[in-house]
Amino acid sequence: SQQGEEDPQALSIQEGENATMNCSYKTSINNLQWYRQNSGRGLVHLILIRSNEREKHSGRLRVTLDTSKKSSSLLITASRAADTASYFCATDRWGAQKLVFGQGTRLTINP
Amino acid sequence: DVKVTQSSRYLVKRTGEKVFLECVQDMDHENMFWYRQDPGLGLRLIYFSYDVKMKEKGDIPEGYSVSREKKERFSLILESASTNQTSMYLCASSLRTGSPQRIYGYTFGSGTRLTVV
What pLDDT digit, counting tens, does each position of B74-104 carry?
999 999 999 999 999 999 999 887 665 667 8
Query: DSSP for A38-93?
Result: -TTS-EEEEEEEETT--EEEETTEEEEEETTTTEEEEEE-S--GGG-EEEEEEEE-
- What mean pLDDT comes out for the span B100-111? 84
Do B111 and A41 make contact, defined as CB atoms within 8 angstroms? yes
Do B109 and A30 make contact, defined as CB atoms within 8 angstroms? no
Residue A49 has pLDDT above 90, yes or no: yes
- What mean pLDDT comes out for the span A32-59? 94
Cβ(A25)–Cβ(A5) under 8 Å?
yes
pLDDT tens digit sequence for B9-55: 999 999 999 999 999 999 999 999 999 999 888 899 999 999 999 99
Give the chain A residue nearest B101 (alpha carbons): A50
Q: Which of B33, B50, B103 sits opposite A50 (nearest CB)?
A: B103
> Is residue B116 less than 8 Å (CB to CB) from chain A?
no
The candidate with the shortest Cα–Cα distance to A77, out of A33, A109, A35, is A109
The candidate with the shortest Cα–Cα distance to B3, out of B32, B24, B31, B30, is B24
- Longest C-alpha distance within chain B, in Å? 46
Give the chain B residue nearest A4 (alpha carbons): B42
Mean pLDDT of chain B: 93
Residue A2 has pLDDT above 50, yes or no: no
